[in-house]
Structure 1
Amino acid sequence: MFDPTAFENMKVVLEGLIYDRDFDGTILVTNRCESIDLSRLSRSFQMEMKIRENSPGQNSTIKCLITLTASLENLSAELLKSQNEALAGCQVETSYHLSVKKEAEPYISSLFHTLSNIWGENREIEIREQLIYNSPYQFKREIEARVLFGRLVTEDQIPDFRGLVDHSISSIKQLKEFYSSNT
């Protein structure tokens, strides 16, 4: 019998922490995806969530996606101990997706500032805006804000996953406040 990989161990812990928050009523898990890219021999695990609304008429359009990925280099560094063990681990990323009705540009800097306050100045933040046309004159703006950690996460950081989930939920709540004042 083989031991599970670091990716597998981290995925199980992260998934459990997110489902615990779903079961306690804080969030609603809206999607889960686990994939293996056979051409690159990489793995990816994603869970999407949003804040669970108390009122039946409310519907939060802000969703958070937590992604855990491991490449072939990460796996080989773990399994072949003679390789560079510094590559043994996974990448973690959180992203936030929202629709806005107004032009996004005027408050993009506020969005950067909000995410930097939550996640810290040493995180890389990317924001993308996409226009989706329903007709030649009707469109909606989709915003994706990604928080990148810029380093590998190892099994030694598994205890930090609870904070990752808590920060993600806090981010959704703060972005929801930000969004409601800018739509």
Structure 2
Amino acid sequence: MFDPTVFDNLKVAMENAVYDLDNLDSRINITQRTDRLEMSVMSREFGVQFSLREQSGVTAELQLKMDLNNLAAEILEMEDQTPGCSLLLYFDMKIREMETQCSQIENILTDIWKPELRPVQTLSQIYGEKTSTYQNRIELRFSRQINEDQMEDISELLEHVLLTLMELNKV
């Protein structure tokens, strides 16, 4: 009989909650979804990307990952290890004024998330194009893994993501 892993259970819970925000609540539009099994390193990855239905200028991406060590710890029921998944949050948006807007973005993320790890903003621009905008990919990292004990926190996590999207759309 198939026994779902921590990854499988979290993925289903997260996927259901996000799709409810799209299909039932009409608050977001899902723009991309990934579900990968990386055979070369035996890892799993699930991602879903979305934007607010009324403000599509900023997108959010949730990524859930489980590596071989955690997968093996769960399947082999290793007593000295607690299997879990990594959760990453990304926000993508265009900016024009690097110093001003990046500072505002960092303040918004700090106010909403109170992160242990500083958010990382990666700016990119296509060389040779005459443009005054940068693509800003904002990564919010967490210092610990999550497991089924945090499944009830998914709706609160998503509310924080929605609030972040609303605030970033104002920048």
TM-score, normalized by the shorter chain, greater than 0.5: yes
Per-residue CA shift, 1:21-70, capped at 9, x if unaligned?
001111111111111111111111000000002xxxxx622100000000
> TM-score scaled to structure 2, two decimals?
0.93
Match of 2:87 in 1: 92
- Gaps of at least 5 residues in structure 2 are none
- Structure 1 138/109 Cα, relative in aligned 2: closer, same or farther at 3 Å? closer
Count residues in correspondence. 170
Match of 1:127 in 2: 121
RMSD of the TM alignment (CA)? 1.5
Aligned-pair identity (%): 29
- Structure 1 175/8 Cα, relative in aligned 2: closer, same or farther at 3 Å? same
Residue in structure 1 matching 2:106, options 106, 109, 112: 112
Amino acid at match of 1:71: D
What is the rounded CA distance, in whole Å, between the counterparts of 2:115 and 2:129 in structure 1?
A: 40
> TM-score scaled to structure 1, two decimals?
0.87
Do structure 1's residue 137 and structure 2's residue 130 form an aligned pair?
Answer: yes
Match of 1:63 in 2: 59
State the 4+ residue runs in structure 1 displaced beyond 4 angstroms. Answer: none
Residue in structure 2 matching 1:75, options 50, 71, 77: 71
What is the rounded CA distance, in whole Å, between the counterparts of 1:166 and 1:104 in structure 2?
A: 27
Would you say the 8 A contact 2:51–2:165 is kept in 1?
yes
1:83 Cα deviation after fit: 5.4
Would you say the 8 A contact 1:132–1:139 is kept in 2?
no
What is the rounded CA distance, in whole Å, between the counterparts of 2:144 and 2:76 in structure 1?
A: 21
Match of 2:143 in 1: 150
Amino acid at match of 1:61: G
- Gaps of at least 5 residues in structure 1 are 54-58, 179-183
Match of 1:42 in 2: 43
Secondary structure of the corresponding residue to residue 132 of structure 1: coil
Amino acid at match of 2:3: D
1:5 Cα deviation after fit: 0.6
